Structure 1
């Protein structure tokens, strides 16, 4: 029995209880406490996983992908450890293991499923050796924290190089991700979308990666899915989009369900997930790939994905007096652009709520809002009846909308969250779409839970309200 580990876990569990007692989530503090008492806490807890440790990293979609993988694996009856709420720094990863441990520091789990922040990825890998790592995408994000995109990509690439052995699950459509197999020498399985899957309504977004990560020549594209994701080839070297072993196509949204056909190893199947958003097909394909690699049958993977429920702010759906409201986390230009596309893909009139904070977790620099294609909404603003801007930087959000061409009479500024959300819910649109940055998200969800009813999807595909 490891006495130091036991003391660290007991102290951490007490800290979690105190955190929740005072209104906190207890998603990071326990890890801080445990690591101060015993630095080997994470290492000792992680090695108790009987099968694989699977990590998910990259810029957008980490929480959703990790939770989809969890839905797939849990559907087989396997026991898991997961940082489900998205606390993805090393303290949050440590907390996840503590949450599943008993008071003696023992964990009963088959798989550990860990979403890991890109900047924390090297630190976590120094204490845990995963068997699989999923890399979804790389986009510019929180420049005051991460720095330029090249720095983030280099952090992940060099950390992977230091691993003696790992299998990579890579997005073939992102050149910054697709390079990881060649750059690290590790084995890899690729997932992606068939060419030209993007609906015609997609905006012309800023491309994050114009140049070949191998030789520096400007990449050529046959088509784009969004941002730099698409069918690329470098004219200066042999680097090009790898052929994905798992490929999605025929994407459609029916009600609150996103459907996609999947081609794998000369066979085909259909996946359905209870969420909106074109980009979520990539997350589902990553989960499908992981499930296939660990030996889960395709029909079981599809069944598991149908039980997936969005985490906080990942296209959560609520109903206010019978009217739907969707809560969506935004944190960078690409994610916000995809949120706008998702909004515009929904038929009918809308009221839009936008909460922008500039706390440390959000990033102090909010200049990224000027890289979001809000002008795309102007073309469809006859369907958007009202914009409600809230949060610490509500005025700046309203200013950005003004310069995008939104008429001033359609913009309302209410800095306080509760009255702002109530105004949006009671707005003239048949649907309310709520965008929120990190530190406004918990407050937004809490207010929505008090005012509205949350949709609960059932595995058989029928939604209910709780």
Structure 2
């Protein structure tokens, strides 16, 4: 790269700054669109500067958190991660992250050995493999999500299997507890690192009704589960053909759980036992930590460095983000599909706090949320019966969310027995905060674009940083 790069890089950087100055967004996509349209060859030149290789993290849930956990580990191992940490996970988001870390000539400004660490939209993973030629690919999980974009889980798993077999990275990191992902390993021609849970106090002995993997990927016979940790993730076996969950290389055990406050995790890592305390709760975050540890295992990072990295990790905006407002507390948990929403409900109900729960549920149906909102009918809202003090619904589909809760017989206290419907997110937040008592917690459960809307509102009030800084 040289002087002729300055106009393109300069324009891209200026767009990022302008977007932030005018509060049009974080500039996490627009700069990349410029480079993609005008100078797509820059991508190859940037990737060649990342001598530590490129890591792609894909799956339905947990991508952003897994990337953040992995970045903390690699940073302490002497690498300099370049990542799309705000979650813009299409090619434009990756290019924007590279623009931000480059100088005016397009040279990446790195303090150590550069490694590209990018979360990737699950629908575009096949294209990204060819464009980025990653050293490591991480597959976190596959759940039903945005069916109008991705189709059924099995179809996406088959597409991944074809492209990973034909264009394999050097190392494939896979969640052994997800049958659809574990089956991909069968044909993979290079190195594989498997991660999974061995025990958890949240385990159950049968699949929930909304589980997305009931049949064997090899013979299509019904799977039998000895234990289920989260949706269809667990220990499974096919009685018909004998195929079963493979043994993880990096295995974890949930040893302590305190609602959203923390999660104690014991990890078997390269013959050593690590005990880490995560500043977030929930089974899904145990899986995120194991995925990050599995990447570290592939990079031969010492166990003590893995412990250090996971110990200092901080969650991204909207991923169990806590905001204290005097004597009231707001906790934001992103929800975007039945599996994730069910885990959020279970986490809220296990928060260790007496009294009914206060909820603000924000449902949007923009493109990035998925236009089809029928998925809310697969969420186990009936678990909230008799456990809710206040419920407010908001967003573009606030009325439909309230209807779903009505059918689930989720009602508040005598003061507010019915869900309060307020489509305007700002007003809905004010109503909810006004109605909860000092010492109470308001759980805010937004879909993806609703989370961005909420974050802008909170940032303008000085309650949190803009999402691209959080």
TM-score (norm 1): 0.92
Determine if the alignment matches structure 1 residue 341 to structure 2 residue 339: no
Partner of 1:372: 379
Listed one character per residue, the Cα deviations across residues 153-211 of structure 1 (whole Å, up to 9, x for unaligned) are 22322221222442011111100111121133332111111145425699934110111
Equivalent pairs, count: 453
Alpha-carbon distance in 1 for matches of 2:170, 2:365 = 37
Contact 1:8/1:41, CA 8 A, preserved across alignment: no
Task: Describe how 1:234-313 pairs up with structure 2 within 5 A.
Answer: 234-254=238-258, 256-313=261-318
Deviation at 1:335, TM superposition (A): 0.8
Label 1:140 to 1:276 Cα distance change in 2 as closer, same or farther (>3 A): same
Label 1:346 to 1:42 Cα distance change in 2 as closer, same or farther (>3 A): same
Determine if the alignment matches structure 1 residue 414 to structure 2 residue 422: yes
Listed one character per residue, the Cα deviations across residues 411-456 of structure 1 (whole Å, up to 9, x for unaligned) are 111111112112223333621110001111122123334558559x
Deviation at 1:120, TM superposition (A): 1.2
Alpha-carbon distance in 2 for matches of 1:422, 1:10 = 41
Determine if the alignment matches structure 1 residue 431 to structure 2 residue 441: yes
Partner of 1:65: 66
Label 1:101 to 1:123 Cα distance change in 2 as closer, same or farther (>3 A): same
Determine if the alignment matches structure 1 residue 355 to structure 2 residue 359: no
Contact 2:229/2:283, CA 8 A, preserved across alignment: no
Label 1:205 to 1:266 Cα distance change in 2 as closer, same or farther (>3 A): farther
Partner of 1:97: 98
Deviation at 1:5, TM superposition (A): 4.8
Label 1:453 to 1:16 Cα distance change in 2 as closer, same or farther (>3 A): closer
SS at match of 1:127: helix
Partner of 1:18: 18
CA RMSD of aligned residues (A): 2.2
Label 1:44 to 1:439 Cα distance change in 2 as closer, same or farther (>3 A): same
Structure 1: unaligned runs, 5 residues or longer = 456-465
Alpha-carbon distance in 2 for matches of 1:204, 1:215 = 22
Label 1:77 to 1:87 Cα distance change in 2 as closer, same or farther (>3 A): same
Partner of 2:194: 190
Alpha-carbon distance in 2 for matches of 1:358, 1:4 = 42
Determine if the alignment matches structure 1 residue 448 to structure 2 residue 458: yes
Give 1:220's match in structure 2, choosing from 200, 224, 230.
224
Partner of 1:51: 52
Label 1:298 to 1:217 Cα distance change in 2 as closer, same or farther (>3 A): same
Label 1:371 to 1:316 Cα distance change in 2 as closer, same or farther (>3 A): same
Listed one character per residue, the Cα deviations across residues 254-295 of structure 1 (whole Å, up to 9, x for unaligned) are 472221111233321101111122210000011112123212
Listed one character per residue, the Cα deviations across residues 200-258 of structure 1 (whole Å, up to 9, x for unaligned) are 69993411011111221111111111211111112233421011111111332347222
TM-score (norm 2): 0.91
